[in-house]
Amino acid sequence: MGSDLVRRFIKIDLLAKGARPEQHEYRHADLVRHVQSVRAEVITAVLTMQAAWFAAGAPQLGPSLGFGPEFDSLVTWPLAYAGGGDALYVKRDALAQQSPEEQSKAATLLALREWRGDAEWSAAQVVRDIDQDTAPADFASDKINALRDALEAGGGRRRATNVRSLAQYLTALVDQPPREGLALRSRILKGRTLYRVEAG
């Protein structure tokens, strides 16, 4: 799932508890009829959670889920107040980590860290070292290849061979929450942007 879709979904896990889930006998054979029979009880429970949250002063517990203020006041924060909000954030974070964009960003940070360690570098140095003809002899080719592959997987060949394209990508990664325990930092020195992958 693309990172732009993550906030639109809530992931659930279905535990089959058997090799042939289609043969499982459920407690409620007619699920629709069961849901209809407990509908009033469920609605009462939901309204009670909302009333309790409102009576407590309507605290904004945790970040918004991104569906708008009405959704947050009807679902997000009452659910968090009742003690069930963490599951929504955990599932959303897990879903975000599985998106191709997030995996590409994590792979890029790992490859950059392997390439230069704690040292600072510029976007131009990345492009120069990736170029097969100018790669320094002291850099292992597998590290260069891993870096090229990570950059190309997330944005095509242009990102690995064009300084401006790479700089735009790196700028968007700077000071973002850590991925795989790594974060990208930058500073400007004599008009040139230098980057460093920070661990921890």
* Among 42-56, 101-115, 116-130, 133-147, the least confident range: 133-147
Two tokens at 9?
């979904």
What mean pLDDT is reported for the chain?
83
Does 39 score more than 90 pLDDT? yes
Question: What's the pLDDT band for 45 if we cut at 50, 70, 90?
Answer: very high
What tens digit of pLDDT does each residue of 126-165 get? 998 888 655 555 555 788 888 888 888 867 778 888 899 9
SS3 78: helix
pLDDT > 90 in the chain, percent:
33
pLDDT, position 110: 92
Which one is predicted more confidently, 42 or 25?
42
- Burial degree of 161 (CB within 10 A; 0-12, 13-18, 19+): middle
Q: Inform me whether the pLDDT recorded for 55 exceeds 90.
A: yes
Q: What integer is the mean pLDDT of 168-174?
A: 90
DSSP state of 85: S
Among left, alpha and beta (phi > 0; psi -120 to 50; other), residue 187 is beta
Please determine, for residue 200, whether its predicted confidence score (pLDDT) is greater than 80.
Answer: no
Q: Is the pLDDT of residue 42 over 70?
A: yes
